[in-house]
Each structure stands twice: as structure tokens, then as C-alpha cells.
Amino acid sequence: MIAYLDSSVLLRLVLGQADKLDEFPQIRTGIGSSLVAVECLRTLDRLRLHRTLSDDELATRREAVFRLIRSMYVVEPTAAVLARAAQPLPTTLGTLDAIHLSTALLWSDRMTEEMVMATHDHALATAARASGLLVLGVPERTT
């Protein structure tokens, strides 16, 4: 499986949180924006500052983030990604999530195999579904 991975997926793995992505072991190619590293490391630093993580725990978790990122194909935000993120989207999204979605959509357009969006973020999942991507990590809401 090819999956665009956002930071919520990596952080649940690194922090050992409940409801980790069940399908993670099936992902053979992970793609993510370089924003993922920034988001994950900033989150870990906030946890350190709030004294939720000791220095040893922080070091272990930072190492895990770096290991996961090295196993992925990391994409830099290009002018094309930023231009697409600046355009109207099918649902409400913040700036970083718009960049994630735009990156995933541009990569999905290039793929010969279907790429899925892996996220635990409801807003990003909704926008990805509305854009035609299959989403893992957030169950589809039924009305």
C-alpha cells in the first residue's frame, strides 16, 4: 500500500497512543511533506516543556521520529503545492493541512497505483475524502 502520512499517524506510533493506525504495517511506501518532521518535533518539544516527557523519553521519541521519517519519501513544499494549497478547497482546512492535502493530491495524480491518505485528523480526512482520496485512520461518518 502507498500512503500519504501526516504527523498524527507518526505521533500516535511514536508516543504509543491508543488507536494507532491498524493498517500501518501494510504500508510499503510512505510519503509525507517535510512539514511532518517539524510538526512531530514541535509536539515533542511542547510535551517536554510541559514536563510530560523526561529527557530520556524525549530522546527516545525523537529518535523514533527520525527513524520513521528516514523510512518515508519526504516531499518538500514546492511552488506548485503552495499554489494548490492557496486555492479554494472542498472543506475548511488550516494552512498546514491544506499543504498536506495539496501534496497528497499532487502525488496521487502522479501515481499509477492508488494512494491513500493516512491521518487521524478529522478535518484533513474530510477534505481528503471530498477530494477523492481513500482515507485511513478516521472512520467515515454516517448521517
Are 5 and 26 a contacting pair, CB within 8 Å? Answer: no
E strands, the chain, in order: 2-5, 29-33, 73-75, 115-118, 134-136
pLDDT digits 0-9 by tens, 98-125 = 999 999 999 998 888 899 999 999 999 9
- Listed as ranges, residues in the chain with pLDDT below 50 are none
Closest CA to 3 of 138, 130, 113: 113
> What's the confidence (pLDDT) of residue 9?
96
- Which bin fits 100, alpha (ψ -120 to 50), beta or left (φ > 0)? alpha
Domain boundaries, the chain: 2-136
Distance, first Cα to last Cα, the chain: 29
CATH of domain 2-136: 3.40.50.1010
